[in-house]
A and B are shown apart, each in its own frame.
Chain A
Amino acid sequence: MNKGRNSDVRLAVPADAGSLTSLRNAFWSDQISKGSLDSPDLDPARLTGDTARLIERARTILLVAAHEGKPIGYLYGQVKIVPGTPPVGSIEEIFVVPEHRRANMAQTLVGEAIIRLQELGAGRLQLRVLQDNAEGTTFWQRLGFHPSVTIYEYSKISPSQPAK
């Protein structure tokens, strides 16, 4: 456990599923508002089930950042193992509620994630940031991450749905 003043970062337990679901919903709502086309099913029951599965899943870390006992952020990461390449740690989601973003909680989450993903065998860490997310880009570069690949997501309006 990584402890700060009145705050700590720890691995999630099943009892965290409800509060983590709320935080994940906030994360994905924010991502979608920024243009992400990629999200899990945000139906509350399905997202709760998905979160509960992540807490138990192998090669996965779900960290909770709590302030005075109350979850105020989380990080979801996993180790991806692909034939022919070394295991890679992937930070899939990270979120801290806006009123706690000045307390370095996100940095603490990432620091803990790096240690735990390395313990799970990941030699390299990766994550995705939307191109227009200047705040995110600055955050990751400040932590020593650097851009490696640019991915373009293509979309097309269906012929049956006229463009507005």
Chain B
Amino acid sequence: MKAALKEIFVSELGVKPEDFRDDLTYNAIPEWDSASHMSMIMAVEEKFGLTLESDDIVNMTSIEKIVATLKAKGVSVE
């Protein structure tokens, strides 16, 4: 799943592949800001075939939290 997340961050947010790390957090890099957050969310929904709740979207502020949210929704990890 992290590979899929990395693909989203690279293709949707324009993050350089070498800059994608497991400890990445919202607003820690210029590419992941308020303007791009929803693009990332929509790409995640499309990629994993689910609809996220508002609370999930607000809380998905790190790779760790994104992974945890997706796991909680039954998305298989690794």
Q: Which positions in A face B, CB cutoff 8 Å?
A: 53, 57-58, 78, 80-85, 87, 121
Q: Please, how many angstroms separate the alpha-carbon atoms of A164 and B35 in the complex?
A: 33
Instruction: List residues of chain A with CB within 8 A of the CB of B52.
Output: 58
Q: What's the minimum C-beta distance from B48 to chain A, rounded to whole angstroms? A: 13
Query: Contacts A58-B51, A121-B54 given: A83-B37 contact, CB under 8 Å?
Result: yes
B37 surroundings in chain A (CB, below 8 A): 81-83
Query: Contacts of A84 on B, CB cut-off 8 Å?
Result: 58
The segment out of B6-14, B15-23, B38-46, B66-74 that lies at the interface is B38-46
Q: Identify the closest chain A residue to B56 (Cβ).
A: A81
User: Of all chain A residues, which has the CB nearest B57?
Assistant: A81
Q: Is the CB of A80 within 8 A of B58?
A: no
Query: Looking at chain A's contact residues, is the secondary structure mostly helix, strand, loop, or mixed?
Result: loop
6 other A-B residue contacts (CB within 8 Å) besides A84-B58, A87-B54: A57-B45, A58-B51, A78-B38, A81-B38, A81-B57, A121-B54
Residue of B nearest to A78 (CB): B38
Contacts of B41 in A (CB 8 A): 81
In the complex, are the beta carbons of B45 and A83 less than 8 A apart? no
A81 touching B58, Cβ below 8 Å:
yes
Asked if B76 is at the interface (CB within 8 A of a chain A CB), the reply is no
Q: How far is the CA of A87 from the CA of B52 in the complex (A)?
A: 14
Cβ B42 vs Cβ A83 within 8 A? no
Most buried by A among B41, B57, B59: B57
A57 to B49, CA, bound (A): 11
Contact A57 B54 (CB under 8 A): no
- Contact: B58 with A83, CB < 8 Å? yes
Give the CA-CA distance A142 to B48 in the complex, in Å. 42
Decide if B45 touches A58 in the complex (CB within 8 Å): yes
